[in-house]
Amino acid sequence: MRVGAHEFWIPGLMLRVAIAYALIATWLTNRVGRSLVSINFDRLRYEADFRYGLVRFRDHVEAVALSRGEAVERSGALGRFGNVVANWWRLITAQRNLSLLTTGIGQVNGVVPLLVAAPAFFAGRMTLGSLTETGVAYGQVSGALSWFVDAYQEIASWRASVERLASFSDMLGSARVALTHDNGIQVAVGASPALRLIDLTLREPDGPVLAAHLDATVPGGQRVALLGPPGQLKTTLFRAIAGIWPFGTGRIELPAGARPIFVPHQPYLPIGTLRDAVSYPAAAGTFPDTQIAGALRLVELDPLASRLDDNEPWEQELSVDEQLRLIFARALLQQPDWIVMDDATAGLDERMERRVFDLLARELPGASILSITNRPAVAKYLPQRLELDVRDGKATIHAEVAAPV
């Protein structure tokens, strides 16, 4: 390199230039394109919210129509879709700016080796062939060093996905730390044939106590109504017994070898054939069609026996009453020895509710039944009664004699 009357020799000049150019290009690319990470993160969030809203509307379309809530649902859907569109415009703008920058960087990068080597060429120290070889070599080295620039859009999208998963993982981690701090509710196998609650404290996930130091015993082979106040407490207790509510402390013991089923307040029917729905969670084909037809007949769903192969959205095809009866037909098929219910018969009329409890007593005579409810009428169908009292912020469970039918 000649500067005035002086001549300098810089070993590996082109390599140094390629590294410097790549560093500058990387800094500029990150400066212009870093907003893509948050935009892509929002894109995933807004699109998920929009899809969930549509699915939820589809699953509750009848309730919306009966409530004349179409205008509210439309406004909400348009608002969520508006977030998706606005975010896409931000994404398009950011990608345009980044593309213009990276394209310009690429074009200028092709001229850099010629400008650096031009003084030596005009001074006669390099031939045209050497100049061409230098440009090719520079291009290969610079291209390798500029990988971050060329792949920035894909990296930003990948990082947004990772951050979304990481935020979900952080929430799980926080819940796990809270459980570790409190030791969580322990669901274990007990030595007795009874279901036992031992010093059970139920909390909300963020800490507030719902009930503290509950103790109760439900003997095996008994049919018991656990009457509690309306609200969150009874459903939380049901979830804790099922082993899906770890927030709190204490111990829940189930008999060794117990085959329980847990019947929630809201019935669930999987997507598939009616045979799949009745057999759930067992695989289709576990029960012969004649046995399924017999169970359906017992709960007065005879017309459905001819539709076992039909594949329909059964939660929309059947009324709530029919869904509940189908759930109890499922229980009759599975022959459990423990049935724990979260007020699962509330959607039945009085005659069918009585029939369901009579069926369970007749068809599953050895099964233990625990119905957690806030309706005293349920106690008419169950010989034993437990009361869950909440007074002055304290909850206790004590036994009472069920009222005669």
201 plus 102 within the same structural domain: no
322 plus 349 within the same structural domain: yes
133 plus 280 within the same structural domain: no
Domain boundary among 153, 177, 201: 177
205 plus 272 within the same structural domain: yes
- Of the candidates 236, 223, 232, 233, which has an alpha carbon nearest to the alpha carbon of residue 379? 223
pLDDT band at residue 405, thresholds of 50, 70 and 90?
very low
CA–CA distance, 246 with 262 (Å, rounded to integer): 16
Rg of the chain over Cα atoms, rounded to whole angstroms, equals: 34
Written as one letter, the residue type at 136 is V
Domain boundary among 144, 159, 177: 177
- The residues pairing with 272 across neighbouring beta strands, listed in sequence order, are 312
Is the pLDDT assigned to residue 52 strictly greater than 70? yes
111 plus 225 within the same structural domain: no
169 plus 212 within the same structural domain: no
The model's pLDDT over 285-328, given as tens digits with 9 standing for 90+, comes to 889 999 999 999 999 999 999 999 989 888 888 888 999 999 99
Q: What is the pLDDT of residue 240?
A: 92
Q: How many domains does the chain have?
A: 2
227 plus 371 within the same structural domain: yes
271 plus 127 within the same structural domain: no
Domain boundary among 177, 194, 229: 177
253 plus 167 within the same structural domain: no
240 plus 386 within the same structural domain: yes
Distances (CA, A) of 380 to 185, 186, 225, 269, 405: 32, 32, 9, 29, 5
156 plus 206 within the same structural domain: no
H/E run at residue 176: helix 152-182
pTM of the model: 0.69
pLDDT band at residue 395, thresholds of 50, 70 and 90?
low
Q: What is the CATH number of the domain that holds 261?
A: 3.40.50.300
Average pLDDT, the chain: 84
Q: What is the pLDDT of residue 274?
A: 92
Written as one letter, the residue type at 98 is L
CB 344 within 8 A of CB 263: yes
**Chain-centre distance for alpha carbon 104:** 43
Q: What is the pLDDT of residue 180?
A: 59
Query: Which residues span the domain enclosing 394?
Result: 186-401
293 plus 388 within the same structural domain: yes
Segment of 6-10, 113-117, 176-180, 220-224 carrying the highest mean pLDDT: 220-224
